[in-house]
Chains A and B, each alone.
Chain A
Amino acid sequence: MATFNLNINGNEQSVDVDPNTPLLWVLRDHLKLVGTKYGCGIAQCGTCTVHLDGVAVRACVMTVAAVGNQEITTIEGLSENGDHPVQKAWLEVDVPQCGYCQAGQIMTAAALLDKNPTPSDSEIEMAMNGNICRCGTYLRIKKAVQLAAEGTS
């Protein structure tokens, strides 16, 4: 066990855990930030996507020890009132079906637009390809990313 001081959604949070604990379980079990989801545990499905210093990473394979001083952003901290352009676009397009993968999809999309505010269709597909949606909302996700891009560019 070791103590880690994490910067999560702009707040300092301290946890006492095994250094090998994936960030996903620190968020969900220790900090009760359950918006970040468990899907596969092997970085194949993207439901656990969070930002480390603005870059989309898979929290299920990122150990808490590897986080260091990087700023962690989860879906709960993406915006103050759920009004990030990507979140607003998700509402506008009425993207979700079951909704379980959508936090991960939104986090991946937000990181993409931060880096590339005007992605092409194939750039969107490439960036989003690591995020599985079992309900098949892919076209609405793409439409929402395009809409968010129009709003931010």
Chain B
Amino acid sequence: MTLVKTKIGRRAFIKNTSLAGGGLVLGFSILNSCKPKDVVELAVREMPKEWFDINAYLKIGDNGLVTIMAPNPEFGQGVITSMPMIVADELDIAWKDVLVEQANFDAEAYGWQFTGGSQGIRRRWEGLRMAGATAKHMLKEAAAQTWQVPLAEIIASEGILSHEASQNSAGYGEMAAVAATLEVPEEVSLKEITDFTIIGTSKKSVENQKIITGKPLFGLDYQYDGALVAMVVHPPAFGLKLKSFEDAQARSMPGIVDVFKIKTLEDDMKRGFFDTNAFTDLVAIVGKTTWEVMNAKKEIRTEWEPITDSSFTMDRFGTEMKVDVPSGLENTSDHYVQMNEMAAKPGTTARKDGNPEAAFNKAAKVIERSYTCPFLAHNCMEPMNFFAHVTEEGAKLAGPLQAPALTESTVAARLGIPIENIDVELTRMGGGFGRRAYGHYAVEAALISQQANAPIQLVYSREDDMTFGIYRPSYQATYRAALDENNKLVAFHVKAGGVPETPLFANRFPAGAVDNYLAEQWEINSNITIGAFRAPRSNFMAGVEQAFLDEVAEAAGKDPIQFRLDLLQRAKENPVGERNDYDPDRLAGALKLVREKSNWSETSSGVHRGVSAYFCHNSYAAHVVDVVMNGNTPRVENVVCAVDCGIVINPDAAANMAEGAIIDGVGNAMYGVLSFKDGSPEQSNFDRYKIIRHNEAPKHIEVHFVKNEIDPTGLGEPPFPPVFGALANALYKATGRRYYNQPFATDKPPLIG
């Protein structure tokens, strides 16, 4: 094996780009961004001397190596591996011959580069297949022209083109130069699902080697010559804003370069949906090293003042709306009182089928239960941070972002520079969970760089990160169910609301399965900012709905799985209403699979089981949770999970994500809470904000996927929400107590019976 140790020079770069049809030259960036030793590590064999661009997603080296671009930002969901797998499968290249690069933000080349809503694979499925299939077609065409044989007779497999009759064969690398000059075909055929060779086989993350050896990957690791470090001071409470500050002491400290105020969003600026920000006036401290800036930050003397009632205009993807921000210092205890008051009053009707009140009046049994959950902080392990270098020519930005397109447009508007003068490099994200869709920290970094006239790395401390806002809201829901004398569910009523938004999904199960159905909602405004948090709203509704159905099934004297299956049968055969958002067959399918895999009918002594199933983000997930008592402490022993998300690209990585969702679910259900006193978060670091740890995680988790040929749907979120319900139901069996208020570890429900 011969390894190329030299870097490709400027000439080679120019030569490559002149040959290529546009896009990025990866050979250049790979070789020049690495030390020679890294090239050795990267190279599975000799690196190509030239790369040929076929399209924005892939380029082929003269020796047959293929570089595939991963278009979406990576935060642990594995798309940096699974998306290139899709391209590689249609290209018919061996996976060992694939190098993967994270694409930078380039909307023209890659469209909607967004990580969130479990939509990555679903939205890119066809496009990525097309990218691979198009390239394969062009390679075949190049071979057909070279060998003067019909294109239809050429076979492509594992990076080799061959023509049986003429006995010709060539590697992709040999045909790449010709292929890169051909017109892109107007039509291209995609593989039959049964012909996939890479999709559906487990591949390990392409970045594992870098992760386990500590290579710079994340935003906080970003290296740039001469970069300074910046931190910001924000108000200690929601409902306060910066009045004045005194920085003389801080400025005199070692390593401190500058201290100044920034305003992230001007007061009259129209805000985008992801421009959420309670603290737009900040004190920025710029210095040479993180520790020096952290110390100086403590010496900034600030004076805060209460905000007054205000409003701003939001452009919600084309729909303009006025958003009111109330003044005041809010308390969690008051939130719960207010939510109970709202729950006692009629809400806004979102859906009504049949005559619910008449059915409740006639019912043999009525069950009514109320549930609550607190605010949660995302707590990504990598705190918010961003690199910015703003000059007169434009802005170079780099860091962790879920929605670079949205952040870039806010940066452009705020700096007043054309969007084409902004360059955004996407770094691997140390977690996201929704938090990094709100890119205020990138805007802050850009403003600080502009004012300091220097490249800067903005770093949030853990405390800054946890207390800045953009939380999962606090919610409340009250359910009522009516059973007739035959224990049939004849009416169902859900009324849900929250601070500051409603979590209701009016058209979700059991809507469609009950003749008389009422869904109502309400909201209590707040100045505490909220944002998408892994399966927004579903992360509350799934758990409480599934816990409630468990009580209804018990009251009806039915097995909880069979009870749900009977309702789903009804929703399938004779659905009530037309707007039901789920497929009853697929939800039932997940439940049946989890029933089978968990041996639901077999009970063992000391093991207490709970079940749940939920549809969200286009996918279906069901769990059976087993709890055992360790003295007085319940412990999750085993979880069996069944998911229907259509075709699974990378099965073991997909199982990893479902395992993580289950552990995240158990953790947040048991321990997660962010509370407020006089507008101030009472938890600001991991000493008071409890995250689930090793010894509290389930002992075993089994993940099963429903096998079908449906185009892939979401996976990052769907397995998370139902965990809360299955756990509550198992805890009931283990303790004789029904848990209504999250987090369960501090809920003190009475013994039942």
Residues of A within 8 A of B (CB): 1, 17-18, 21-22, 25, 28-30, 32-42, 44-45, 47, 74-76, 78, 81-82, 87, 90-91, 94-103, 106, 122, 124-126, 128-142
Contacts and interface: CB of A to CB of B under 8 A. Distances in A.
B204 A94 contact: yes
Contact of B656 (A17, A38, A130, A137): A137
B657 interface: yes
Contact of A18 (B41, B218, B254, B429): B254
Q: Pick from B220, B653, B693 the residue with the most CB of A within 10 Å.
A: B693
A91 B661 contact: no
B685 A42 contact: yes
A41 B685 CA distance: 9
Contact of A38 (B75, B383, B686, B697): B383
Contacts of B217: 99
A96 B76 CA distance: 8
Interface stretch (B14-22, B149-157, B205-213, B353-361): B205-213
A100 B381 contact: yes
A132 B214 contact: no
A74 B205 CA distance: 23
Interface of B: 41, 75-78, 202, 204-205, 207-209, 211-218, 220-221, 223, 229, 254, 289-292, 379-383, 428-433, 459, 461-462, 652-653, 656-657, 659-664, 667, 685-687, 691-695, 697-698, 700-701
Contacts of A37: 218, 220, 381-382, 430
Nearest to B204: A94
A100 B430 contact: yes
B208 A98 contact: no
Given A100-B218, A101-B381, A106 B663 contact: no
Contacts of B218: 37, 100
B431 A125 contact: no
Contacts of A133: 381
Contact of B214 (A34, A91, A98, A128): A34
Given A25-B289, A44-B687, A90-B208, 15 more contacts: A1-B254, A37-B382, A40-B686, A41-B462, A75-B213, A75-B214, A76-B214, A81-B41, A94-B653, A96-B76, A98-B381, A99-B430, A103-B211, A131-B694, A136-B659
Contacts of B41: 81
A38 B431 CA distance: 14
B694 A136 contact: no
Contacts of B692: 136, 138
Nearest to A138: B697
Contacts of B428: 98-99
A138 B666 CA distance: 12
Given A18-B254, A45-B381, A102 B212 contact: yes
A99 B207 contact: yes
10 contacts: A32-B223, A39-B381, A42-B462, A76-B214, A87-B213, A91-B204, A135-B381, A140-B659, A141-B694, A142-B694
A38 B207 contact: no
A141 B653 CA distance: 14
Contacts of B653: 94
A64 to B, nearest CB: 10
B75 A98 contact: yes
Contacts of A140: 656, 659
A125 B379 contact: no
State the main secondary structure of chain A at its contact with B.
Answer: loop
A122 to B, nearest CB: 8
Contact of B221 (A34, A39, A40, A135): A34
B359 to A, nearest CB: 42
A131 B697 CA distance: 13
Given A99-B217, A100-B431, A128 B204 contact: no
A136 B700 CA distance: 13
A103 B220 CA distance: 14
B211 A135 contact: no
Contact of A129 (B211, B215, B667, B694): B694
Nearest to B650: A94
B220 A102 contact: no
A81 B41 CA distance: 9
A22 B603 CA distance: 53
B214 A103 contact: yes
A53 B408 CA distance: 46
A47 B660 contact: no
Going nearest first, the 7 A-B pairs with the smallest beta carbon separation are A35-B214, A100-B430, A136-B663, A98-B76, A75-B214, A97-B76, A136-B660
A132 B691 contact: yes
Nearest to A106: B212
B694 A94 contact: no
Nearest to A36: B214
Given A97-B657, A139-B659, A134 B380 contact: yes
Nearest to B222: A34
Contact of B209 (A18, A29, A33, A82): A82
Contact of A82 (B213, B691, B694, B700): B213
A29 to B, nearest CB: 4
A81 B214 CA distance: 12
Nearest to B432: A98
Given A41-B461, A97-B77, A139 B701 contact: yes
Contacts of B216: 34
B431 A22 contact: no
A94 B202 CA distance: 10
A122 B661 CA distance: 23
Contacts of A100: 218, 380-382, 430-431
A139 B697 contact: yes
A81 B209 CA distance: 10
A102 B211 contact: yes
Contact of A97 (B290, B656, B695): B656
Contacts of A33: 214
B214 A74 contact: yes
A107 to B, nearest CB: 9
A98 B429 contact: yes
Contacts of A81: 41
Contacts of B204: 91, 94
Q: Pick from B213, B697, B698 the residue with the most CB of A within 10 Å.
A: B213
Given A35-B215, A44-B686, A99-B76, A125 B694 contact: yes
A8 to B, nearest CB: 13
Contacts of B660: 97, 135-137
Given A98-B75, A100-B381, A25 B291 contact: yes
Contacts of B380: 98, 100, 134
Given A36-B214, A97-B656, A100-B382, A129 B686 contact: no
B205 A96 contact: yes
B700 A139 contact: yes
Contacts of B215: 35
Contacts of B208: 90-91, 94-96, 99
Given A101-B381, A128-B694, A94 B656 contact: yes
B695 A98 contact: no
Contacts of A39: 381-383, 462, 686
Given A22-B291, A99-B428, A134 B211 contact: no
Contacts of A82: 209, 212-213
A82 B214 CA distance: 9
Contacts of A137: 656, 659-660
B291 A21 contact: yes
A90 B75 contact: no
A2 to B, nearest CB: 12
A134 B381 contact: yes
